[in-house]
């Protein structure tokens, strides 16, 4: 019996069938891959959010969608319903409706020297209807002060601390500051704002908005940090820096407040605290450090070669740990800046090695009207970098700066290096 062989038409149908099955297989594979990606994305969104802060301004709560719940950090407790007559609904935010355009409360007629008046102020700041614990140490700042202490008094900072166990969130509310000194001598007022850092990590930095022309700023701004275990709270510390904004120069530092969190129990609820603002004098007592600079003047090409070599004994950045220094080099001609350069940032060190060379073209003959300014700054992510120390080299400079300048003028084409003490910025 002869074997049956498929016809030519059946051979033509085989590729068509294979193509149809391949198309269905491709569609199925793509659909399965898209479904798996969606499942992974939805599972990630349900996890605890990473360690980050959520800024709450003027009582408006901002949360990720997956954290929405009936109970907000700034919301009312059930126990507060009984006290509605004595306490506003949003008592945490200190009667926002009564503020002026700057967000401040209307001033009350208080005498600075009266201790009884100060006692009357404290209950008004934080209503008794809230279920909150007051630190015993915070009561010390409300006592009367002597005349000498009042002259040095830089004001008081009011804030609250809270831990939300459900969301593993550490909540800091910067409420207000009272009795700040006037940093603007013409208007006899300040434009204050506050920078806050969680120590010892130093990388979690936040700041409030600037309030214009006030010595009693009411910020009422909440910063929420997620993912911090409650057991870790005792190892942290809060550092507040109170500043006054200056549009035309570096902001003025009013003072600072350091709060170690060891011994502060947050399991019972919100903790209302206030601390006296102290003068920031850490760097002046320990010195600004030294900078090693090498200079060479090329009279033939009329160029100045500047080499930033090293820095040593740099002070700590505030009270938060080591600095992240870098050097900014400014070239001046007749008191006008004509060029600027800067080195790379060196992380977490008081003794930085830069070894960076810069060549400046001199627009005039000789160095009589030329000067070089060196600013050693601490790199701070997300905020204005702070000046650690300053050095000026030139014909009119005093001390080692003037001596170094005279040597490079007397001995052109020679590279001369010297250590210089940094002064206040």
- What pLDDT, in 10s, does the model give residues 184-221? 877 889 999 999 988 877 667 888 999 999 999 999 99
- d(CA 309, CA 319) in angstroms, rounded, equals 27
Placement of tokens 């434009």 in the chain: 191
| 145 burial type by CB count under 10 A (0-12 exposed, 13-18 middle, 19+ buried) | middle
Q: Give residue 21's pLDDT.
A: 81
- The Cβ-side half-sphere exposure at 374, using a 13 Å CA radius, reads 32
Q: Give residue 144's pLDDT.
A: 40
Q: Give residue 213's pLDDT.
A: 92
pLDDT band at 152 (very low <50, low <70, confident <90, very high): low
Residues whose CB falls within 8 Å of the CB of residue 30, separated by 6 or more in sequence, listed in order:
none
- What pLDDT, in 10s, does the model give residues 210-254? 999 999 999 999 999 888 888 888 888 899 999 999 877 678 889
Range name among 25-39, 78-92, 320-334, 351-365 with the lowest pLDDT average = 78-92
Q: Give residue 379's pLDDT.
A: 86
Give, in order, the Cα–Cα distances in Å from 133 to each of 63, 117, 119, 259, 267.
25, 23, 18, 17, 10
Q: Helices marked H in 145-204 — which ranges? A: 147-152
Q: Give residue 355's pLDDT.
A: 95
- What pLDDT, in 10s, does the model give residues 37-80? 777 766 554 444 444 455 654 444 444 434 444 333 334 444 44
- d(CA 240, CA 324) in angstroms, rounded, equals 19
Q: Give residue 5's pLDDT.
A: 59
Q: Give residue 105's pLDDT.
A: 46
Average pLDDT over residues 90-112: 42
Average pLDDT over residues 114-123: 38
Q: Give residue 153's pLDDT.
A: 80
What is the three-class DSSP state of 383?
coil
Structure tokens at 261: 């969190």
First to last CA, the chain: 108
Query: CA angle, 133 as apex, 130 and 139 as ends, to 5°?
Result: 110
pLDDT band at 408 (very low <50, low <70, confident <90, very high): very high
- d(CA 297, CA 412) in angstroms, rounded, equals 5
Placement of tokens 């070669």 in the chain: 305
- d(CA 304, CA 418) in angstroms, rounded, equals 16
Structure tokens at 201: 């990590």
More confident residue, 306 or 62: 306
- What pLDDT, in 10s, does the model give residues 154-169? 899 999 999 988 888 8
Q: Give residue 267's pLDDT.
A: 84
- d(CA 233, CA 170) in angstroms, rounded, equals 8
Q: Give residue 199's pLDDT.
A: 83
Residue 113 above 90 pLDDT? no
Q: Give residue 17's pLDDT.
A: 75
Q: Give residue 26's pLDDT.
A: 85
- Mean pLDDT for the chain overall: 74
- What pLDDT, in 10s, does the model give residues 318-329? 555 678 899 999
pTM over 0.75: no
- d(CA 221, CA 93) in angstroms, rounded, equals 9
Residue 15 above 70 pLDDT? yes
Q: How many residues does the chain have?
A: 425
Q: Give residue 52's pLDDT.
A: 47
More confident residue, 400 or 385: 400
Structure tokens at 113: 């020297």
- What pLDDT, in 10s, does the model give residues 122-147? 333 443 334 344 444 443 443 344 44
């Amino acid at each position: 019996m002869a074997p049956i062989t498929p016809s030519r038409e059946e051979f033509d149908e085989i590729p068509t069938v294979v193509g149809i099955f391949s198309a269905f297989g491709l569609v199925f594979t793509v659909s399965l891959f898209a479904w798996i990606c969606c499942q992974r994305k939805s599972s990630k969104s349900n996890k605890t959010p990473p360690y980050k802060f959520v800024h709450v301004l003027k009582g408006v709560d901002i949360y990720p969608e997956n954290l929405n719940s009936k109970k907000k950090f700034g919301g009312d407790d059930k126990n507060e319903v009984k006290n509605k007559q004595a306490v506003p609904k949003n008592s945490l935010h200190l009667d926002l409706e009564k503020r002026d355009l700057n967000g401040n409360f209307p001033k009350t007629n208080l005498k600075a020297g009266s201790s009884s008046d100060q006692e009357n102020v404290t209950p008004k700041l934080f209503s008794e209807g809230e279920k909150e614990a007051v630190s015993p140490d915070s009561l010390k700042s409300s006592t009367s002060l002597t005349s000498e202490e009042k002259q040095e008094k830089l004001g008081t900072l009011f804030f609250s601390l809270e831990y939300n166990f459900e969301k593993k969130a550490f909540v800091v509310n910067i409420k207000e500051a009272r009795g700040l000194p006037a940093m603007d001598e013409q208007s006899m007022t300040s434009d204050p704002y506050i920078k806050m850092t969680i120590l010892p990590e130093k990388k979690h930095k936040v700041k409030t908005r600037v309030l214009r022309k006030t010595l009693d700023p009411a910020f009422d701004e909440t910063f929420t940090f997620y993912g911090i275990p409650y057991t870790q709270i005792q190892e942290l510390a809060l550092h507040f820096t109170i500043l006054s904004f200056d549009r035309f120069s570096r902001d003025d530092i009013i003072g600072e407040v350091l709060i170690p969190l060891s011994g502060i129990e947050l399991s019972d609820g919100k903790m209302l605290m206030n601390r006296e603002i102290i003068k920031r004098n850490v760097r002046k007592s320990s010195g600004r450090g030294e900078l090693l600079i090498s200079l060479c003047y090329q009279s033939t090409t009329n160029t100045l070669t500047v080499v930033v070599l090293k820095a040593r004994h740099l002070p700590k950045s505030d009270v938060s740990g080591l600095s992240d220094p870098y050097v900014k080099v400014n070239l001046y001609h007749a008191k006008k800046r004509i060029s600027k350069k800067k080195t790379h940032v060196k992380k977490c060190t008081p003794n930085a090695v830069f070894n960076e060379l810069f060549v400046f073209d001199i627009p005039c003959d000789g160095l009589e009207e030329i000067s070089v300014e060196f600013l050693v700054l601490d790199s701070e992510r997300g905020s204005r970098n702070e000046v650690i120390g300053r050095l000026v080299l030139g014909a009119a400079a005093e001390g080692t700066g003037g001596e170094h300048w005279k040597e490079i003028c007397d001995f052109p084409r020679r590279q001369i290096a010297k250590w210089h003490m940094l002064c206040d910025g």
